[in-house]
Amino acid sequence: MQEIKLLYLYPDMMELYGDYGNIQILKYRCNQRNIKLTVDEYLLGDNAPNFKNYDIVFAGGRS
């Protein structure tokens, strides 16, 4: 099984346009293709992540 690692930046602050729904759809679509999607969240104040550990960095939408 393939695996994709996604880092979701500031989901508590940037969830302005239904971005969590985009993550849920991505999980669903990966599941349909037998791909494991791991989602880690990075919140303000957390230790800085090692971006090299992730395939996708998601930072939310913009207006």
Domain range list for the chain: 2-58
| pLDDT of amino acid 31 | 96
| pLDDT of amino acid 15 | 65
In tens, the pLDDT along 12-56 reads 877 666 778 888 999 999 999 999 999 999 999 999 999 999 999
| pLDDT of amino acid 27 | 94
Q: How far apart are CA 53 and CA 46, in angstroms?
A: 16
| pLDDT of amino acid 38 | 97
| pLDDT of amino acid 36 | 97
Q: How far apart are CA 38 and CA 3, in angstroms?
A: 7
Contacts (Cβ under 8 Å, ≥6 apart) of 13: 44
| pLDDT of amino acid 52 | 97
